[in-house]
């Protein structure tokens, strides 16, 4: 198989407010490979979503897991639409990924 799933999410107390994010990497059977949490200080919820995605991808890279296909999942419609180039996009945060 060789597919990994990366789930990312954020939490912000207020908007903007103190923010954090998390990432989990699982194998094709759902087994946990890596889990991490991140602190972002004060920012908007959308910026925290992008930071969680970036940190999750860096987690995959830092553990040499890029030889497998990576499926990224998020519950943030804004993040997903931006990454797919659909609808109401948060283009101002794409620079975080580049």
Confidence of residue 88 (pLDDT cuts 50, 70, 90): low
Question: Is 2's pLDDT higher than 90?
Answer: no
Q: What is the pLDDT of residues 41-74, one digit of tens each?
A: 999 999 999 999 999 999 999 998 887 899 999 9
Q: What is the pLDDT of residue 97?
A: 65
The pTM assigned to this predicted structure is 0.88
Three-class SS of 19-76: EEEEEEEECCCCCEEEEEEEEEEEECHHHHHHHHHHHHHHHHHHCCCCCCEEEEEECC
pLDDT at 55: 95
Is the pLDDT higher at 61 or at 83?
61
């Amino acid at each position: 198989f060789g597919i990994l799933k990366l789930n990312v999410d954020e939490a912000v107390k207020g908007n903007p407010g103190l923010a954090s994010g998390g990432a989990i990497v699982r194998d094709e059977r759902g087994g946990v490979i890596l889990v991490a949490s991140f602190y972002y200080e004060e920012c908007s919820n959308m910026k925290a979503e992008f930071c969680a995605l970036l940190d999750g991808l860096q987690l995959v890279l830092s553990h040499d897991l890029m030889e497998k296909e990576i499926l990224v999942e998020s519950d943030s419609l804004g993040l997903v639409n931006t990454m797919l180039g659909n609808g109401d996009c948060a283009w101002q945060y794409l620079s975080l990924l580049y």
